[in-house]
Amino acid sequence: MEADFVIVGAGSAGCAIAYRLAEAGASVLIVEHGGTDAGPLIQMPAALSYPMNMARYDWGYQSEPEPHLGGRRLATPRGKVVGGSSSINGMVYVRGHAHDFDTWADMGAAGWAYADVLPYFKRMESWHDGGHGGDPAWRGTDGPLHVTRGRRNNPLFDAFVQAGKQAGYEVTGDYNGEKQEGFGPMEQTVWKGRRWSAANAYLKPALKRPNCDIVRGLVERVVIEDGRANGVQVKRGGESQVLRARREVILSAGSINSPKLLMLSGIGPGAHLAQHGIPVIADRAGVGANLQDHLELYIQMAASQPVTLFKYWNLWGKAAIGAQWLFTKTGLGASNQFESAAFIRSKAGIAYPDIQYHFLPIAVRYDGQAAAEGHGFQAHVGPMRSASRGAVTLASANPADAPRIAFNYMSHPQDWEDFRTCIRLTREIFAQEAFAPFVRHEIQPGAALQSNAELDGFIREHAESAYHPCGTCRMGRADESGAVVDPQNRVIGVDGLRVADSSIFPQITNGNLNGPSIMTGEKASDHILGRDPLPAVNDRPWVHPQWQKAQR
């Protein structure tokens, strides 16, 4: 039970790393606590609300009571399955804005500016535009990760883009290309009608090699001897055993479990570890800190004609969609139904988008509960760069216990202003001529709620996580007290140990985090192998020429 490299977590980044290390000829053991991703509930894109609410596939984490959201505990789903959260997510593919990565570099993550990471996004992608336009020169064509677009047959998808245009916003053919800002088609990690998770893209091909294997078990801690990580202690079938790493241990357990494992291993805030009786190996204040996420609201409209997906919201409709998908991998089951999107700026003076929209042609909750009022549609909307920060800490020294997750959502006054702006801008979009044939009335928040205080009450009660936690093992300069890993993903203060997943993000990126998480694995694999990074590029993103003076 030893290999050159032991990777903890078969998630978005871990699968990519396993694939690249095995491809290079190194022996790899990847440790995953979760089970198989076989079966239609994970593989059928339209079934996305099921796996993220199933204990079989999800760690089942919850936040602490959030003081600024009326003491609500918010669900924090994390994939406990092969493919990690890429096997239970909404399959939306967003790279992030170029300026996000330039900000990372400014924050001490040298070599992670947009010019540095764009070649890795290209390396990982096989992009298919589906005849909807786009920026081929900015995209990859032969990577393991297939990125596609839905068919956009429902008239509401086009109405959303047209309404944005009528409201004066930009239109973009490819928000993952030169121009993120504007309304246009949304992209998904779906291929030939199936969820194209990191497991399907990277892990299954890697496991076909004789030098890559997967081990099931719960990692209890990293084994560190004389300041060097030599392996991991894993609980399997009631027994603890050590898997040895001849070269390095790589943590890709995600933004909740990677900091938890570092702390259980003696790496983290010294006083906090001492409270739990854990001997301190490296006193790193940043472990578990800097927790960030995206919150969103569902702005829902009742539809005046039966064009929405509600007509399938019954046993027979779901059975028919499921049967068509099982036999042909086509039809409504073959899409996540997020097929139109937008990124806009909330006000003048902001250089790049700080609001994201997912548009959905049904009014329903993310967890699949209760379609509201029959036929309807909704936009998920939320700010991209909240100043609020939370933390992941240990509840106990027992590896089987869930950690404490306190996001501290909405703790900054700007968050409230940003969310009120989101509601008002969305109402304006739904009031455009393009939606006139389809709108009956506003379901949620409801037209009666207009004042700041009324909207704040709605936000407090209804803001939901977009499930984008990150930042808890922040990357930065090796001499910086708050940094956990250096720009080569090496844990500061311990040899032979790296972290590569969304926990290393210095600041949350625009949009959904699966794309940047896989990119992190791709780039980290070159650092681990001691290779020169891919050559930087000079592609400059589109920035609104009037951004200092105009909101749109």
The residue-averaged pLDDT of 316-333 equals 96
The pLDDT value given to residue 374: 87
On whether the pTM is more than 0.75, the answer is yes
Helices 98-106 and 114-124 pack at an angle, to 10 degrees, of: 130
Q: How confident is the model at residue 130 (pLDDT cuts 50, 70, 90)?
A: confident
81 known member of a binding site: yes
287 known member of a binding site: no
Residue 450 confidence (pLDDT) above 90 = yes
517/61 Cα distance (integer angstroms): 20
Would you name the residues annotated as active-site residues? 468
The pLDDT value given to residue 371: 65
The pLDDT value given to residue 373: 74
User: How many CB atoms are closer than 10 A to CB 189?
Assistant: 29
The pLDDT value given to residue 129: 86
- The domain segmentation of the chain, as residue ranges, is 1-149+187-281+471-531, 151-185+295-383+411-462
Q: For 478-490, how does the pLDDT look when each residue is reduced to its tens digit (9 = 90+)?
A: 999 999 999 999 9
Q: For 245-256, how does the pLDDT look when each residue is reduced to its tens digit (9 = 90+)?
A: 999 999 999 999
The pLDDT value given to residue 321: 96
398/14 Cα distance (integer angstroms): 24
176 known member of a binding site: no
Per-residue exposure over 100-138, b if at least 16 CB sit within 10 Å of its own CB, e if not: bbbbbbebbbbbbbbbbbbbbbbbbbbbbbeebebbeeb
Contact yes or no for 361/309 (Cβ under 8 A): yes
- C-alpha R_g of the chain: 22
Q: How confident is the model at residue 386 (pLDDT cuts 50, 70, 90)?
A: very high
9/302 Cα distance (integer angstroms): 42
At 219, the amino acid letter reads: V
DSSP-assigned beta bridge partners for residue 282: 267
439 known member of a binding site: no
Residue 454 confidence (pLDDT) above 80 = yes
Contact yes or no for 335/188 (Cβ under 8 A): yes
Task: Give CA 253 to chain center in angstroms.
Answer: 14
Q: For 205-234, how does the pLDDT look when each residue is reduced to its tens digit (9 = 90+)?
A: 999 999 999 999 999 999 999 999 999 999
Lowest mean pLDDT among 90-99, 104-113, 366-375, 410-419: 366-375
Find the length of the chain: 552
The pLDDT value given to residue 369: 67
Evaluate whether the domain defined by 151-185+295-383+411-462 bears CATH number 3.40.50.620. no
Q: For 51-83, how does the pLDDT look when each residue is reduced to its tens digit (9 = 90+)?
A: 988 999 999 999 999 999 999 999 999 999 999
Contact yes or no for 183/164 (Cβ under 8 A): yes
> Which residues, including other chains, have CB under 8 Å from residue 119's CB and lie 6 or more apart?
534, 535, 536, 537
215 known member of a binding site: no
DSSP H stretches of helix in 74-172: 98-106, 114-124, 155-166
344/387 Cα distance (integer angstroms): 18
Residue 412 confidence (pLDDT) above 70 = yes
The pLDDT value given to residue 477: 98
Assigned token pair, 332: 């409504």
Q: For 169-193, how does the pLDDT look when each residue is reduced to its tens digit (9 = 90+)?
A: 999 999 999 999 999 999 999 999 9
Q: How confident is the model at residue 368 (pLDDT cuts 50, 70, 90)?
A: low
Residue 282 confidence (pLDDT) above 70 = yes
- Second-level CATH architecture of 1-149+187-281+471-531: 3-Layer(bba) Sandwich (3.50)
Assigned token pair, 136: 């081929």
Return the percentage of the chain with pLDDT > 90, whole number.
96
The pLDDT value given to residue 213: 98
Q: For 148-162, how does the pLDDT look when each residue is reduced to its tens digit (9 = 90+)?
A: 999 999 999 999 999
The pLDDT value given to residue 47: 94
Assigned token pair, 510: 């625009």
Contact yes or no for 288/434 (Cβ under 8 A): no
Assigned token pair, 176: 């993952």
Task: Give CA 4 to chain center in angstroms.
Answer: 29
